[in-house]
Structure 1
Amino acid sequence: MYAYLPPYDEIIAHFIGHWEFSEETARLRHELLTFRYRENEVPDEEALRLHELDVIQPHAIKYFQPGVEHTPHPYEFYGHSPIDPARIKLEPKPAKRPAEQDDSEPSHKSLPSGVIGYVHREAGPDLGPDPGEVLFVVKQQIFLEDNDVLDLGGADRPLVDLTVTPRLAEMLADTVAVNPFSALDVPSDVSSMGDFVIAVQQTIAADDFAPDHLVASGDTLSGIYVNGEMAEEAPLLDDLLPEPFQPQDTPEPAEETVQHEASSGAEASLDLMAGGNLLVNVAQLSNSGMLTGVIGVQGDVRQLDVIVQSNCVSDQDTLVGEIAASVAPPTMALNVATFTHSQLDIASSTRSGDTEAGPSNWSVTVVQGDLVFAQWLVQATFIYDNDIHVLNSTGSQSNFVTGADLAQNITSFSALGTYYDLIIIGGTLYDANFIVQSNVLLDDDFISGDGYAGSVSTGGNLLYNGASISNIGAGGWALGLPSHYQQALEDAEDGDRPAMPSGFLSDADYAGMSGLSVLIVTGSIFDLHYVRQLNVLGDADQVAIAQAAILDDQTANWQVTTGSNALINLAAIVDVDTLGTGAYVDGVVYSDAILIQADILSGGDGGRFDPDVLVTEAIAFLGADAGDDCGDSDGVIAAPTHHDASLDAMQSMLV
């Protein structure tokens, strides 16, 4: 069917739709107004409740200890309780258990019905802290090969000095020979530590023991020794250092002034530093691992303090031509050794006011076997600075440094332990301190040139050994071990927790002390400290100054330094044995102290050669023209023009 809609009907329907849409929009808007944002509620103004937590710890927290045992109550109840409480009775006194009965087994007795009995069980002593062991073995070694060649032209280059290797090896052998104990075997295990100490003391006790450089020996030594002589105080190292290592004062900046001057350029100068090497070994060992107020030794006591110091120097300079060296400080070699002994009585300050009462209990630590406190340190420095120089005028300011090497080994170690009021040793006490120091310097310089105007410094070297051994402990040993000490040691060998013998209750050493902290070692104690320090420096420089350069430039300021080296060894051992005055020994006391100080001047008297005399060494260094007649060539080491071999003078010694 076909229907015709006039245009106005369509317009009416359109407006009706708009009307319904507007009505729906208004309805939705009305519904949304009901979801108005609700204002924030006022928070509760009541104060927050504070809950205080009681953090008091009723049990003291101690160090961690694995395998903690539970000690039972000293009273162990047995029997049964009847139904009627009125019939329960207790014995007026505890019935002690028979001594032959095992404490680990509970006691059961047949008692009348309705009776509860108890028996007293003796509790064992508290377990003390573990002392621990210290085994410190360190080797520090520095090797540097700094053989430079500086050739500015204008003169023949000196040849390589092949005699440095055998000369250094010979000098090192001389320093080793100073130590009379160098042939002894180094300890490789705990058992050989005691053998090493015994071997040293047997060497000292031998009838033919007479080292060449022995300064002092005896049971003990005390005081300061400088180059074999007693001194009031030791020289300060800072005052002895060569000039390159002295602190430089920085001048205050001056007010700036503007000046306009005509300048013809920088003044010509040439500075050469072929020396100025610094070798330092520093060691500080401190042992406080066995702190005690009183010590008792059932075996022997072996005490040993040894310091061996040696300086070996060859400073034989050769000046060829019209060169005149400036006046430089001479080479200094110093050996400084210090022995000190001090006694403290810290234990007496910890006692209570009641000096008559003895200790009523103790805490004990038992070590089955040996206890080791060993510190073994070796420091060695090898530097080879054998330079070759051919100097010529540069017409300007020139600064060349072929030396100024720095090598240092530094070690500081402290062994801290636990304090015990008493230490009982079933074996032997080995207490030994060793310091061995050596410096080897080869500074044989060769300088050639004619008409030279300037300063040449070939000396001013320093070789310094400083050693100190400080012992803190009881002043003397009382012969004989008290019986209650021996009883405690025997009980410790049978079990881990021995009871305190009654003799300690009346021992005057512990009067006024409420309890004792005791360490019992069934074996021996090894308290060994060893420091070995070695510096080896080869600084045999060769300088050839071109004659043409000097003739062309007479106003140039030349400064040549081939010395000013410093070889320094510093070592200190602080050995704390006891902090009280009591020391008992049941065996024999072997005590030795020895000091050896040597200054070895190698290669002659150290003076300079006559400039007019050309020795065969100079000919070997500088070479000769084809037309020169050098005479008999026997004894002259012919050095090749090109030498590619290593100049490791001590290569065989480092293996």
Structure 2
Amino acid sequence: MNTGGISETIWHFAGYLRIPETTLTGDVLYDGDHARLRPDDDPAVFIDPLRQPQFDDLASQRQPFLEPVFPEPALHAAKLGSPSLVRPSAVAAPALRSSQPQQSDDAFDSSDHASLIYGKRLITVQYQDGGTETLLSAHQVNHIDDRDILTSDAIRYPNGDLVVPPEAHTGQAFAHMVKEAYAATPASMPLEAVGNTQSLIETIAGRDQAWSQDGHLPGEASSSQAPTGRIVDGHVSDAPLPEPPMTQIAPWREAATPEVHEITASITALGPTQGIGTIAETGLNTQINQAGILDVNEATGSLMIGGNYYFSRGIVQVNVLTDNDHVDIATDNQALPSVLTHGNEVHNVAEFVSHDMTAFYHGAAATPLWNVDVLQGNFYDVKTVVQFNGLDDSDRTVQAAAGTYYEADTGGNLQNNFAQITNLDSYDIIIVAGDYHRADWIYQYNIVLDSDVAKLFLSHDASGGVTDVSAGFNRLTNSADITTYDSAGFTDMNGAQHDLLNALSSHATVLTPNPDWKLAGNSSGTLKVLYVSGDYYDVNVISQVNMMIDVDQSIQASATSGSRQGVASGGNYAVNDAQIIDPGTLSTSKYLGGQAYEDSILIQTNLITDHDTVTIHDTSTLVPELVAFAHDAEVAAATDNPFCKPVDTAHHDILI
């Protein structure tokens, strides 16, 4: 071959003469024609399916396209109800057939689960049965029966029988207090419905149905907007609640002092190191309920509801205290005894905290793969916590000073319930075809009966004695707050969103992206979706009840000089503390096909009965239980030996 000659020119350009043969023209075959054989090296395999080829401006025409027939029945059903799916317009042309063979759905899936038809990006949808439901009912119950009897052989009736105060019959009075407490509960959400999840679901469904029919709930003072701030007994306040010091409840207790590592003491006389006295602490009981629910199951980027949306928040707080004390003190001592029957603190504290989410999420149309968990029927995410403390600490104590320091602690019981429930799930989008029922409720009740009786005698020979009676200082506290993270309201569903709802209900496996969906996407390329064909129940309820009966009867007598008498029959503490944290949609991407119903209810009630009777008189008039003791004390004082008869100092403690 001559360099630079004609042969070399032909050699350079011979391969380029075949380029336009299969690229610039398309094959058009009419019915009856034989299909042309494709070359062994198909140039189509070297073309990037995600990028349109670029050509020079040459004469060409658009290649007509015939939609392939998909064998999957579910896709056919979706095409009829959803224009969002791929449905090319019909082209007026002769009866043509494509030279390409028919392909199945799998032929439209690329490596990133996207498909292309006419250059449009498609979404592949995968379905599976799923959705983690929760029906949780946690019950915590404490019950203590601690009714003590303490007697003394030194205190008898004139006929010689031991003085034992009769048992107080409190059943009828306490039942009336319970009835008063439950009467403050809304009729549409009774406390009885909280006992189990089934009754709670039925109550919520019936309440919401009546709500949608009438537009409001009869007999309930509710508001669509929750009160703002920290509400203390009906008023906004940030002040801390008062706490009575122990030195008022039990003055004989020494104030707390720093620990010392070396103690030096000198005892110069025989006798009790704390002096002579009789002390009875029959109260100072504590009941605590603490509960928290963190529900993050519905913390999604987008929420779409085909039906109605119901959201109710309620806090019901009730304190019932009956503290009718009767104190009778007979003394000839010039120093007046100290009697404190006041100091009760009864409070309700509630707060609704709403965090408004303003972010706008989108990107679902650009996420190539949707992984959809399908739950047919209603979806239940219902959690209830029931906490109950019951205590009967009605003590009967009889004490006489006999040259010793004797302290009887028949109270001081502790009951404590603690529960914390956390639910976490991770869906990008939740789509509900039916109604959405959302409810966060807290019920708190403290019911305390603390009507005490104290009878004390201090003879004229017991000079220098000290008498302290504390029958008040009960504390009843309810504290609750409900915290939500949500956007302000819903946007009406548009046509594209209705079409998407229909397509998912028909299990369409291929979707055409539509920017009008305005739903949250996922940068990972896979969107996690929960689809519920029925209603969605998102319910969190906490119920806390403290019931305490502390009707104490104390009798103390002393004929010893310098003796101390002390009775602490109050100082009980009942507290309920509850918190619900319930995040909702974390953006403004919330869409509703029906109506939205929202309300907030706050009930704070304190029912206090405090009628005390305090009588302080000389020893000329005595209660029947102390007549014989006073007579024996006078006889002993007239003899040389003040202890004219043996005294059984081993007091008897009988548990019943």
Aligned to 2:174: 168
* Aligned partner of residue 225 in structure 1, secondary structure: strand
* Distance in 2 between residues matched to 1:128 and 1:482, nearest whole Å: 27
State the partner residue of 1:375. Answer: 383
Q: 1:572 to 1:129 in 2, by over 3 A?
A: farther
Gaps of 5+ in 1: 1-83, 626-645, 648-655
Partner of 2:108: 122
1:447 paired with 2:454, answer yes
Q: Does 1:528 align with 2:497?
A: no
Take 1:362 and 1:330, find their aligned partners in 2: how far apart are those partners? 64
- Partner SS, residue 353 of structure 2: strand
Note if 1:560 corresponds to 2:529: no
For the Cα contact (< 8 Å) 2:521–2:527, is it kept in 1? no
Q: Is 1:304 paired with 2:312?
A: yes
Partner of 2:475: 462
Q: Which of 366, 389, 408 is matched with 2:374 structurally? A: 366
Q: What displacement does 1:556 show?
A: 1.6
**TM value normalised by structure 2:** 0.69
For the pair 1:490 / 2:502, whether they are aligned, the reply is: yes
- Counterpart of 1:426 (choices 410, 433, 438) is 433
SS of the counterpart of 2:178? helix
C-alpha displacement of 1:180: 2.5
Find out whether 1:517 has 2:486 as its counterpart: no
Question: In the alignment, does 2:277 pair up with 1:269?
Answer: yes
Conserved? CA contact 1:439–1:535, under 8 Å: yes
User: What code does the residue aligned with 2:134 have?
Assistant: V
Name the TM-score, length of structure 1 as normaliser: 0.69
Aligned 8 A contact 1:489 1:522 in 2: no
1:545 is displaced (CA, Å) by 1.7
Tell whether 2:149 aligns with 1:180.
Answer: no
Comparing 445-454 and 402-411, the one that deviates more = 445-454
1:341-394 deviation per Cα after TM superposition (whole angstroms, max 9, x unaligned) = 01346775xx8xxx9994444333322222111011211111101111111013
Which residue in the other structure is 1:607 paired with?
612
Match of 1:98 among 57, 67, 90: 67
Q: Counterpart of 2:566 in 1: which secondary structure?
A: strand
Shift of 1:137: 0.4
Give me the whole-angstrom Cα distance separating, in 1, the residues matched to 2:44 and 2:217: 75
Q: How far apart are the structure 1 equivalents of 2:364 and 2:169? A: 77
Task: Give the superposition deviation at 1:178.
Answer: 1.2
Distance 1:168 1:457, change over 3 A: same
Unmatched segments (≥5 aa) in structure 2 = 1-36, 50-63, 75-95, 110-123, 157-162, 332-336, 459-464, 629-654
Residue aligned with 2:543, SS: strand
Whole-Å separation in 2 of the counterparts to 1:202 and 1:160: 57
Q: Which moved more, 1:158-167 or 1:286-295?
A: 158-167
Change (3 A) 1:261 1:291: closer
Q: Does residue 1:396 correspond to 2:404, yes or no?
A: yes
Cα contact 2:449–2:550 (8 A) shared by 1: yes
8 Å Cα contact 1:440/1:537 also seen in 2: yes
Superposed displacement of residue 554, structure 1:
2.6
Measure the CA separation in 2 of the matches of 1:161 and 1:200.
49
Structure 1 CA distance for aligned equivalents of residues 426 and 283 of structure 2? 49
CA distance in 2 between counterparts of 1:572 and 1:242 reads 29
Does the alignment pair 1:252 with 2:259? yes
Deviation at 1:319?
A: 0.9
Q: Is the 8 A contact 1:484 1:501 kept in 2?
A: no
Equivalent position of 2:602 in the other structure: 595
**Cα deviation code 1:292-326 (max 9, x no counterpart):** 11211110000000111111111111012337443
**Displacement after TM superposition at 1:483 (Å):** 2.3
Q: Which residue type is aligned with residue 173 of structure 2?
A: R
CA distance in 1, matches of 2:246, 2:594: 52
- Counterpart of 2:579, as a letter, is A
Give % identity.
22
Bigger Cα displacement from structure 2, 562-571 vs 518-527? 518-527
Q: Which residue of 2 aligns with 1:343?
A: 356
| Change beyond 3 A, Cα 1:459–1:288 | same
Q: Does 1:224 align with 2:230?
A: yes
Q: CA RMSD in A?
A: 4.0
Deviation at residue 146 of structure 1 after TM alignment = 0.7
Structure 1 residue 446: deviation in Å?
0.7
Deviation at 1:171, TM superposition (A): 0.7
- Secondary structure in 1 aligned to 2:297? strand
Paired position in structure 2 for 1:331: 344
1:459/1:130 CA distance change after superposition, 3 Å: same
Deviation per CA, 1:79-128: give whole Å up to 9, x if none: xxxxx9965546689997635442589xxx9999xx98977733432458
**CA distances 1:492-545 after superposition (whole Å, capped 9, x unpaired):** 2222x5433432x45555589666432222211100111111111111101112
Matches within 5 A, 1:139-150: 139-150=139-150
Aligned to 2:151: 151
Q: Which residue of 1 aligns with 2:205?
A: 195
Listed as ranges, the matches of 1:7-26 within 5 Å are: none
- Cα distance in 1 between the residues matched to 2:39 and 2:606: 97
Give the structure 2 partner of residue 60 of structure 1: none
Query: Cα deviation per residue 1:475-501 (whole Å; 9 max; x = unaligned)?
Result: 2222x2122322222122222x54334
8 Å CA contact 1:370, 1:524 repeated in 2: yes
- Name the larger-Rg structure: 1
